[in-house]
Amino acid sequence: MVKKRDRDKQAAADTDKTATGADAGKKGDVRPPKKNTLKEYAKAIGSALLIALVLRQFVFQAFRIPTGSMLETLQIGDFLFVNKFLYGAKTPERIRIGQTTLIDGLPVLKLPAIREPRQGDIIVFEFPDNRNLDYIKRCVAVAGDTVQVRDGVLRVNGEIYESNFADLDGDHSCVPTWADPESCPPPRTKRDRAAFVRNQRNQSWPWRGSPEVYVVPEGHIFMMGDNRFNSMDSRYWGALDTSLIKGKAMFIYWSWDKNKHPLGIKLLGAPRLSRIGDLIR
């Protein structure tokens, strides 16, 4: 009997030890370790920023239209996306903040292009005279093409190029008239008689003293604004080196008209809802 009682006491003691260990597990070992919330947020934000930077550099980039050199195709206040990979995206050769270059001369890796720029493309590029500025114009001629302006009418390879720009192989010979600027199929040049008369350089190009016909050199394209009589373009600063190209304009994702004043409040402006989602041609 004594031995039996001793065995029962020992079993009870073992049971108490087991229960005590389980309780300890509930209080400590079973509970998951606390996460560092700040560290998790930092990782998520860092990952999102990295993805955004890669997309911006190699896929799409947003731009805003600040001037009227591409009227009526693009309006002041249009916000658009640019295709970066069509002509071959590349790593940045310099780092800049706004219009200030911080680091220049970085090694560049360029991805293969899907196709080369061609006549009719609307392209965003670095301004040759100040690469901290981004310009947008239409490519009217590529390497080997001849360019000439007479009486305000553009001729490329001897053929008039004034309208129907979206159709690469179409007829571009319709010239909008002063009386009816919308008389030709769009996209077309914008006619501004006052600017045409005011600036004699709009009337003919190449200017006096240069060969009558300009030949676009290799590795370059010739850029002009659709609002040609109010455009600072290749007529003034030369053919564009293709290494300065950033991408092809794709579509408008937002448009804001600061000259519209809803409720009579001049500071507001208003969106151009009808332009949102328009493809750029």
Kindly name the residue from 39, 47, 90, 137 that is annotated as catalytic: 137
Tokens read off for 232:
């600072």
17 given a catalytic annotation: no
Kindly name the residue from 4, 17, 35, 69 that is annotated as catalytic: 69
List of long-range contacts for 6-15, beta carbons under 8 Å, 24+ apart: none
232-267 burial, b at 16+ Cβ within 10 Å, e below that, comes to: ebbbeebbbebebbbbbbeebebbbeeeeeeeeeee
- In a 10 Å sphere around its CB, with 0-12 CB exposed, 13-18 middle and 19+ buried, how is residue 191 labelled? buried
69 given a catalytic annotation: yes
| Residue 147: partners with Cβ closer than 8 Å, 6 or more residues away | 140, 141, 154, 155, 156, 205, 213, 214, 215, 216, 222
Catalytic positions, written as ranges: 69, 137
